[in-house]
Amino acid sequence: MSAAVAAAAGVGLASSVGSAAPGDVVFAVNAAGGAYTAADGTEYQADANYSGGTAASSSEPIAGTDDDTLYRTHRYGDFSYDVEVPDGTYDVEIHVAETYWSADGDRVFDVSVDGSESITDLDVHAEVGHNAALVRTISGVDVSDGTLSVSFSTDVDNAMVSAIRVVEAGDEPAGKQPYGGSAWRLPGRVEAEDYDVGGEGVAYHDTSSGNTGGAYRDDDVDIESSTEGGYNVGWIEPDEWLEYTVDVDSDGTYDLATRVASASGGGQFHVEVDGTDVTGSVSFGGTGGWQSWTTVDAGSVDLTAGEHVVRVYSEASGWNINYFEFTDSGGSGEEYPDDPGNLDGRSWNEILADHFDGGSLDTSLWTDQTGNGHDYGIPGWGNSEEQYYSEDNRWVENSDLVVEIREEQVSDEYGTYDYTSGKLVTEGNFDFQYGRVDFRSQLVEDQGLWPAHWMLPAGGTWPDNGEIDIMELVGHEPATVHGTVHGPGYSGGNSIGGDYHLDSGVFADDYHVFSVVWDPGVIKWYVDGEHFFTVTREDVESQGNEWAFDDNPFWLILNCAVGGEWPGSPDGTTTFPQQMRIDYVRVFKEA
C-alpha cells in the first residue's frame, strides 16, 4: 500500500481497506450528489451536513463497484462533515474514486475523525488507479457528545470524498461471519475475495503475512485486481484455504465450476462442505498467464437446503482463483454455459428461458418482423438500413437460433434491396418490467453489419417511452459492444451509453453473455458477468431530460441490420453470408 495508515494516539482508531462489518447504518451521505439507494440497500441522503469544499461530478464508468453513481460525484478541497449520532461506537466508511487525476501522487490527503488524524497520505490513484472505487474504514470511533465530525485536509491538490457511511460497531463479533453480513445464496456465484470475516485460522489460512496484492481487504490473504473486473485471490500456496458461508435454496445436486489461472505450472485444489471433501483433488494445467482465466469443472455436489460452510483448499502453489459457482444440475436438465450466476450480487428466479433446443422456433414466443420497415411506418427501419428481413433467414439448429445475413436481391412493392437478414420480437407474446436479461450469442463482423439485442416498451411512442439496447455492435469495430438508452431528448446520436472492449479477439470468435439488470431508476450493463456501464434516473434528469424506463413493461428484439446511419454501407471487405448465433435468451426476476 502506498497510503500510510495512522492510529491516532490515545483514541484507538484504525483504518482498513473495505467496508465495515455489518451493523445498523446511522448516517450515509452521497457527497455532492442526490439521494441514492446502493446495491447493498443502504439509503444515502443527498449531500448535507458539510462545511466547506466544492461539489464536482463525472460521467465515466467506475470500476470495482456496482454503485457507479455514488462514486461519480465528490466534494473536494478542505472541508468537514458534522453528524448528529447517538453516543456509541461506530465504524466510519470513506468512499472515494479518483475521477480526475491519472497518475500516482497527483492528489494526496488526510482524513481526521473528531480531531484525530485517522488516515494519512491517502493517494487513491496509487491504491486502485483512475475511475475505480476505494473504501477505507476507520474502526472503533467512540462518540460521547452526540456529534461525529469527519474532516478532510489537503496535502497535494485537493482532498476529496464521494460518500460517507457510519455504521454502528456494536460488540466484537464472536468467531466467523459472512463477508458483508449475509450468506451467499446458492445456486449462484461466489467471488473468491469475499471469504468470511474472522481472521487467520478461522475464516482463512494464509502462510504469509500481509496482503501481497495490496487490494480490497486488509488482512493476510493476497488479493489483486482482475482483468475480468473486480478482484482475485493470488499468490496461493499449498495448504492455504478460504471459507465462505453459503445459503442453499433447496435440496439438490449442483454442478461446481471454478474460474482459475496459472502462468505455467497449473494448480490443484479440493472443495469441502461442512468439513467434508466433496470434490477430491481437482487439477488443471497452465493457462499462459496469471490473468489468463479458464473455467474448471469440479464435478457435481449434493447439497441440502440451508446454511453451509464451503472451504476451498489449495493443494499446490502457483495459481489464482477469481470465483466459484454452483449451478442447479437437476430439474429440466438444461445447461446454460457461462451463466453469470448471482449477477449484481443478487439471487434470481428465472421467468423465461429459450435454449432453442427444439426442432423449430417457438412462435408462441417469437414473431418475425419482415421487410424494410415500410409496413410499420418506418422505411429503412428509421435508420436508412439496407436489408430486407425475411423468415427464410432464421432457423434453429444444434440448439442455436441462427440469423443469417446474405448479399442477395429481394423486391417488394416499395423497392429492391441488396441484402437480407432476420429480425425476431416478443411483442404481444412476452414483456416484463424490471429484472435481468441474458443473451448468449456469437456475433458477426465486417463493415456495414449491425447486430443488436434490445427492448422497446409495450405502449407509447418512440423515443418518448424509451428504448433499452442490451447490446449493439458495428462491424468495423468488432471487439467493441455498446449498451445504450434512448428517450425524449436523448435518442439517436444523443443517446446515453457505455462501451465494453475485449482485450483480445473479436465478438465473432466465440459466444459471450450480454446482460442487463433493470431496476426502478437504474439500469446496469454486463458482458460475461463483468459490469461496464450504469445509467440512473439522476444521470438523465441532471441533463434536463426525462427518465422513460419506469412507466411500461418492455419486450425483446434480436436482429442484424445491414447498412444504416451508424455503421454505414458494406464495402468490398465485407464477407457474406455470415451467421449470428444465439445459444439462449433468459429473463429473471430478483428472488
* DSSP-assigned letters across all residues of 343-395: GGG--EEEEEEE---SSS--TTT-EE--BSSGGGT-GGGGTTB-EEE-GGGEE
Helices (H), 250-306: none
Which secondary-structure segment (H or E) carries 538?
helix 537-541
Q: Express each pLDDT in 334-349 by its tens digit.
A: 578 888 888 887 888 8
Say whether both 419 and 452 belong to one domain: yes
Which secondary-structure segment (H or E) carries 184?
strand 184-186
Please give the pLDDT value at position 330.
60
Say whether both 137 and 19 belong to one domain: yes
**C-alpha span between 299 and 279 (Å, rounded):** 7
Q: List, as own/partner pairs, every contact residues 496-500 make where C-beta atoms lie below 8 angstroms and the sequence separation is at least 24, other chains included.
A: 496/535, 496/539, 496/540, 497/469, 497/533, 497/535, 498/61, 498/525, 498/532, 498/533, 498/534, 499/532, 499/533, 500/525, 500/527, 500/530, 500/532, 500/533
What's the pTM?
A: 0.52
Please give the pLDDT value at position 23.
61
Q: In which order are the strands placed within the sheet that holds 14-17?
A: 14-17, 133-143, 88-97, 163-168, 25-30, 43-46, 36-37
Give the chain's residues under pLDDT 70. 1-23, 170-175, 330-334
**C-alpha span between 254 and 276 (Å, rounded):** 16
**C-alpha span between 287 and 285 (Å, rounded):** 6
- 47 found inside a domain: yes
Whichever domain contains 151, its CATH number is 2.60.120.430
Single residue among 110, 136, 168 that ends a domain in this structure: 168
Whichever domain contains 559, its CATH number is 2.60.120.200
Among 193, 243, 472, 538, the one annotated catalytic: 472
Say whether both 163 and 192 belong to one domain: no
Single residue among 335, 350, 385 that ends a domain in this structure: 335
Say whether both 224 and 304 belong to one domain: yes
Would you list the DSSP string of 396-459? EETTEEEEEEEEEEEEETTEEEEEEE-EEE-TTT--BSSEEEEEEEE---STTEEEEEEEEESS
Say whether both 464 and 546 belong to one domain: yes
Say whether both 376 and 510 belong to one domain: yes
- 527 found inside a domain: yes
- 346 found inside a domain: no
- 477 found inside a domain: yes
338 residue type, one letter: D
Whether 27 contacts 63, CB under 8 Å? no
56 residue type, one letter: A
- Let me know if 404 is a catalytic residue: no
- 421 found inside a domain: yes
Q: Express each pLDDT in 2-32 by its tens digit.
A: 222 222 222 334 444 444 444 678 999 999 9
- 99 found inside a domain: yes
Whichever domain contains 234, its CATH number is 2.60.120.260
Please give the pLDDT value at position 348.
87
User: For residue 259, which phi and psi values (nearest 5 degrees)?
Assistant: -105, 115
111 residue type, one letter: V
Would you list the DSSP string of 72-99? HEEEEEEEEEEEE--SEEEEEEEEEEB-
Q: Which SS3 state, helix, strand or coil, does residue 486 take? A: strand
What domain range is 561 assigned to?
A: 367-590
Please give the distance of CA 498 from its chain centroid, rounded to a whole number.
Answer: 13
- 6 found inside a domain: no
**C-alpha span between 486 and 540 (Å, rounded):** 10
Q: Nearest to residue 481, comparing CAs of 455, 518, 442?
A: 442
Number of domains in the chain: 3
Q: Are strands 522-527 and 512-519 parallel, antiparallel or unpaired?
A: antiparallel
Say whether both 162 and 192 belong to one domain: no
Say whether both 253 and 155 belong to one domain: no
Among 467, 541, 565, 590, the one annotated catalytic: 467
Say whether both 264 and 304 belong to one domain: yes
What cell numbers appear for 414 in the block? 416499395
- Let me know if 117 is a catalytic residue: no
Whether 451 contacts 473, CB under 8 Å? yes
- 3 found inside a domain: no
Contacts of 413 (CB under 8 A, 6+ apart): none
Please give the pLDDT value at position 288.
94
Whether 555 contacts 455, CB under 8 Å? yes
Say whether both 110 and 55 belong to one domain: yes
Please give the distance of CA 311 from its chain centroid, rounded to a whole number.
Answer: 25
Say whether both 200 and 143 belong to one domain: no
Say whether both 320 and 377 belong to one domain: no
